[in-house]
Structure 1
Amino acid sequence: MMSQGDVSASQSQTHKGVALVTGAARGIGRGIALRLADDGFDIAVNDLPNTPELDELIKTIEGKGRRALATPGDVSDESIVTDMIQRTVSTLGSLDVMVANAGVAILEPFLDTSVAAFDKQMAVNARSVMLCYKHAAKQMIAQGRGGRIIGASSMAGKQATDMLLAYSATKFAIRGMTQSAALALGKHGITVNAYAPGGVETRLLDTFDEFLEPLAGPRAGRNGLLSVTAVGRIGEPEDIAHLVSYLVSREAGYITGQTISINGGAYFD
């Protein structure tokens, strides 16, 4: 039986448990799913229905010798989240790690922020994380052996920008939810943390460049981030995955309620 807060104690060295990653078809979510598979977890992956990259990801995970399950659906819908977790447990046997990574960013100048865009980002970015935290925690408590819950905040959740009002608000919200959940769940041996990336080579960064190009020229988003990044490069999904790998490890059992910046020193907390 796994001891509280240790998601690997009852597993063999080659099988550490079961992880569920939302928004996993590409980018940071994909990087996390692959890293956790390398670490010895069986992986359930979620993204929107009819996302072809999800099928390719399943094949890649299985090629690493791990079991994999696709659980497509909109995680801003509570019934989808509960079904996703139930399917993960019934197919793979448990839920030991939840990574609530799914998110969307809509770039709008502050004065042009629309209610529709605000509501969509609140639903996808903030409500989905709350639902994943809540229902993953219920499953982990029922299992009685602790677990790890991790959410996706952002550098914009620590330093807002005028073109990301709603996005920044959702990522600040994730920091608060992470602290609240950590206080509630520590007694069950469940740690709750979040990562706060800066610029990462994903489609979101491409969108940022496209949005800024008419105002500041080609690659304005990337160049702006590079100008304030201490290590002199844009991040890769693997940079985030390395941190998640540590946060779900036994060694990270005394870390909870934290939102950890991964931005190459673009800004300091």
Structure 2
Amino acid sequence: MSISKGVALVTGASRGIGRAIALRLANDGYSLALNDIPCNLPSLTALADEIGCVNVKAVSIAADVAEEEQVQEMIKKTVNDLGSVDVMVANAGILKSTPTLIETSLKDFDDTIAVNVRGVFLCYKYAAKQMIAQHQQRGGTPKGGSIIGASSVTAKQAWAGLSAYSMSKWGVRGLTQASAMELAPYGIRVNAYAPGSIDTKMVEKFAVDNGRDHKEYLAEKAQTVPLKRMGTPEDVANLVSFLVSDQASYITGQAVSVNGGLFFD
């Protein structure tokens, strides 16, 4: 077993962007704690086995990030199994599209906020508490840890039909900025990634839910992007790899766009 670069905890890691981030951080040399909801545990276990093939330790932790006690236990298990939490990637999120604001049910709104906002808040909070404790144990070294959240292009320019989702991702931006200021004294940097349309199962479901053929939808969306292609999960993973690295040591409080030029900020 090679010496670990640190321990990274990635939520929503069973597929899509979360999976790509976990694989990239494993290749970067981090030990991985892989999280998703219990029904996705088989996919997490398979991912842990795949990561093990690159000589990196990985553990699977089933937990609902919207539940406080489960997030606390997730952090505790990560520390018990791997020794620390040096990187937290609060990636887990859901998207429920409806034609208009007035057709959005209260349940869909509450579900979206529970995962996309409360879930990120809980991950930030309990990862930060662990990182602060580690910072103090290590004698207050400048490098205290890195926290990354999942924002979106819709947090910078909202999309029609995604009122609750857009609101939730604006919330991640605000939480990221405030947390970055509060945690800076402990050497903890807090940033977010803000993807445009990324070719994932979530986007496929969005297309199907709106009565669109998936491939036709992707081709159409690609034409709206200056780079004329959809983003991939690996595009986001590449950014996360940079943001948690020493090369990004002067970057905090940012929601960095990964959108092929779709939106400039």
- TM-score, structure 2 as length reference: 0.93
User: Aligned partner of 2:244: which letter?
Assistant: V
Q: 1:257 aligns with which of 240, 253, 257?
A: 253
Of residues 227, 230, 243 in structure 1, which corresponds to 2:239?
243
Deviations 1:166-218 (A, max 9, x none): 0110001000000000000011000000001111111111112213336xx66
Q: How big is the shift at 1:90?
A: 0.7
Query: Quick check: 1:209–1:219 contact (8 Å CA) kept in 2?
Result: no
Instruction: Note the alpha carbon deviations across 1:144-177, whole angstroms, 9 max, x for none.
Output: 1500000000111111112111011000100000
The residue aligned with 2:138 is none
Distance 1:221 1:100 in 2: 28
The alignment status of 1:27 with 2:25, answered yes or no, reads no
CA distance in 2, matches of 1:167, 1:61: 31
Match of 1:230 in 2: 226
Q: Matched residues, percent identical? A: 51
Paired with 2:84 and 2:201, the residues of 1 have a C-alpha distance of 32
How many residues are aligned here? 255
Which is worse superposed, 173-182 or 220-229? 220-229
Q: 137, 145, 148: which is aligned to 1:147? A: 145
Matches within 5 A, 1:193-232: 193-213=191-211, 219=215, 221-232=217-228
Long gaps (5+) in structure 2: 136-140
Matched with 2:77 is 87
- Name which structure has the greater RCO, CA cutoff 8 Å, separation 6+: 1
RMSD (Å) for aligned C-alpha atoms: 1.4
Aligned match for 1:97, one of 87, 103, 107:
87
Contact 2:204 / 2:214 at 8 angstroms: preserved in 1? no
Write the mapping of 1:126-145 to structure 2, written as runs, cut at 5 A.
126-144=117-135, 145=141
**8 Å CA contact 1:193, 1:257 repeated in 2:** yes
Give, in angstroms, the shift of residue 109 of structure 1: 1.7
Structure 1: which 5+ runs fail to align? 1-12
TM-fit CA distance, 1:103: 0.3
SS of 1:256 mapped into structure 2 = coil
Q: How far apart are the structure 2 equivalents of 1:50 and 1:167?
A: 23
Q: 1:135 Cα deviation (Å)?
A: 0.5
2:103 equivalent to 1:112: yes
Cα distance in 2, alignment partners of residues 219 and 155 from structure 1: 21
Q: Deviations over 1:53-91 (max 9, x none)?
A: 111101011111011111111110010001000000011
